[in-house]
Amino acid sequence: MSTNSILFSPIQMGGTGLPNRVLMAPLTRNRSDTDGTPKDMAQTYYAQRASAGMILTEATQISPLGKGYLDTPGIYTDAQIDGWKKITDTVHAAGGRIYCQLWHVGRISHTSLLPDGRAPVSSTDKAANAQTFTANGFEDTSKPEALNAEGIKTAIADYVTAAQAAKKAGFDGIEVHAANGYLIDQFLQDGVNDRADAYGGSIENRMRLLEEVLDAVTDVFGADRTGVRLSPLGEANDMSDSDPETHFTAIYKMLDARKLAYLHIVEQFPGNDGEKSVIKALRPHYTGFYIANGGYDAKTAADAIESGHAHAVTFGRPFIANPDLPERYRRGADLNPQDQNTFYGGGREGYTDYPFLDTPPA
């Protein structure tokens, strides 16, 4: 890879200047305290990866009811804010930029993870044919309650609280997680959303929650520091849609009109090299900053940017094992092997101990 590759050219993304186009994708690592406060070792983990054009945090729940997996972080209490502030300060001191991904899992949860053993909430009262990770290991998700009008208002208010907390914690911006079968996606896709009210039926109704969340959180951060993540072809967590091209065309156009910092698209999932014709058909409907994700390497990422398909690319698993990934791509160096046994949960092993090209990890 040439040092003159377009991957290493700076670019402006909304209100944030990026020194390169090699961005770090959100990566769930299940290493927070049980109350959702990031552990001190997360400061090292994120700072090691500060050479990314921009870091997106692991998915971070906006409320106790938004939690779906063991030992994932939150962004709604003072302790969580303090924990994340240490991380953002460390990343900024290392020259990096970091956005917080705001997450509500919806029905992809289990009563044992929620306050007072409550049921999860969703667009529907139908359980997902999916599992989540609890203190007992992998368990089937619990049957959810369909959010009523008051519950939807509460969820939107929780997004605002989380956005305010992210601002206090010193993040450069936020990403609204509307992908991968979590709460907002459960409203967007008609294979799950079976409502007959103002949030169900037509695509205009089904994207209403996303619109109202964006109305609320852009009042906190501004549109130019707010991004959205979507997975138009995603079937993760028991998702499906009858006509993704038509329905996501409407979503793309709605988001395009909002002049957000970016749109972040999961174009494919690990192990699924599915047809990208829908992704290509959707692409012209978003004229702003576009971040591609899914199955890219240095060459295909540069090709996507050179062709005009993307402005930047997020890399997930490569950043787990290679804290200096941009420099490795710049030099054409070999990548460290990944230890999948340490992806989820544990301590520093497989988290902060992957070697750099030139210097040992901190």
What is the spatial distance between Cα 111 and Cα 133, in angstroms, rounded to a whole number?
A: 12
Q: Does residue 315 register a pLDDT over 80?
A: yes
Residue 103 has pLDDT above 80, yes or no: yes
Distance of alpha carbon 182 from alpha carbon 168, whole angstroms: 25
pLDDT higher than 70, residue 229: yes
* CA 181 vs CA 102, 153, 186, 240, 312: distances in Å: 14, 20, 6, 9, 24
Q: How confident is the model at residue 3 (pLDDT cuts 50, 70, 90)?
A: low
Query: With bands split at pLDDT 50, 70 and 90, how would you rate the model's confidence at 226?
Result: very high
Rounded CA separation 156/30 (Å): 25
Across residues 1-19, what is the average pLDDT? 89
Q: 100 by DSSP, 3-state: which? A: strand
Give residue 234's pLDDT.
Answer: 84
Binning pLDDT at 50, 70 and 90, where does residue 39 land?
Answer: very high
- Mean pLDDT of all residues in 300-318: 97
CA distances to 28, 87, 285 from 256, rounded to whole Å, are: 28, 31, 7
Look at residue 274 in the predicted model and tell me its pLDDT.
Answer: 52
- Residue range 131-148: average pLDDT? 96
User: Nearest to residue 88, comparing CAs of 165, 11, 179, 178?
Assistant: 165
Length of the chain: 362
Amino acid, single-letter form, for residue 82: D
Is pLDDT at 130 greater than 60 in this prediction? Answer: yes
Q: Count each helix (H run) and each strand (E run) in the chain, helices first.
A: 11, 15
Residues with catalytic function: 182
% pLDDT > 90, the chain:
94
Sign of CA dihedral 129, 158, 211, 227: negative
How does DSSP classify residue 8? G
- DSSP classification of residue 74: B
pLDDT-derived band at 308, boundaries 50, 70, 90: very high
Both tokens of residue 64? 């106790």
5-27 average pLDDT score: 97
pTM of the predicted model, to two decimals? 0.96
- Average pLDDT of span 105-123: 97
* All domains of the chain in start order, with CATH: 6-342 (3.20.20.70)
pLDDT score for 235: 84
Q: For the residues 335-361, what does the mean pLDDT come to? A: 91
CA distances from 247 to 190, 215, 338 (A): 9, 20, 37
Per cent of the chain over pLDDT 70 is 96
In this prediction, residue 206 carries a pLDDT of 98
Position 362 scores a pLDDT of 52
Region of 222 (left: φ > 0; alpha: ψ -120 to 50; beta: rest) is: left
**Residue 276 pLDDT > 90, yes or no?**
no
State how far Cα 240 lies from the chain centre.
19
pLDDT tens for each residue of 241-273: 999 999 999 999 999 999 999 999 999 865 555
Amino acid at the residue 259: K
pLDDT attached to residue 1: 52
Please tell me the predicted confidence (pLDDT) of residue 42: 98
Beta strands in the chain (DSSP E): 11-13, 16-18, 22-24, 55-56, 60-61, 98-103, 121-122, 131-134, 137-140, 145-146, 173-177, 226-230, 262-266, 290-293, 312-315
CA pair distance 5, 132, nearest whole angstrom: 40
pLDDT 10s digits, 168-217 = 999 999 999 999 999 999 999 999 999 999 999 999 999 999 999 999 99
For residue 131, pLDDT beyond 70: yes
Q: How far apart are the first and last CA of the chain?
A: 27
Over the range 86-117, which residues count as b (16 or more CB within 10 Å of their CB) and which as e? bbbebbeeeebbbbbbbbbbbbbbbbebbeee
Query: Distance between CA atoms of 202 and 188, rounded to whole angstroms?
Result: 10
Compute the distance between CA of residue 267 and CA of residue 296 in angstroms, rounded to an integer.
Answer: 10
* 8 A C-beta contact, residue 158 and residue 205: no
- 259 CB-contact burial (10 Å; exposed 0-12 / middle 13-18 / buried 19+): middle
Q: Kindly tell me if the per-residue pLDDT of 284 is higher than 90.
A: yes
pLDDT band at 90 (very low <50, low <70, confident <90, very high): very high
Is pLDDT above 70 for 361?
no
CA distances from 212 to 33, 156, 230 (A): 31, 7, 16
Q: What is the mean pLDDT of residues 122-147?
A: 96
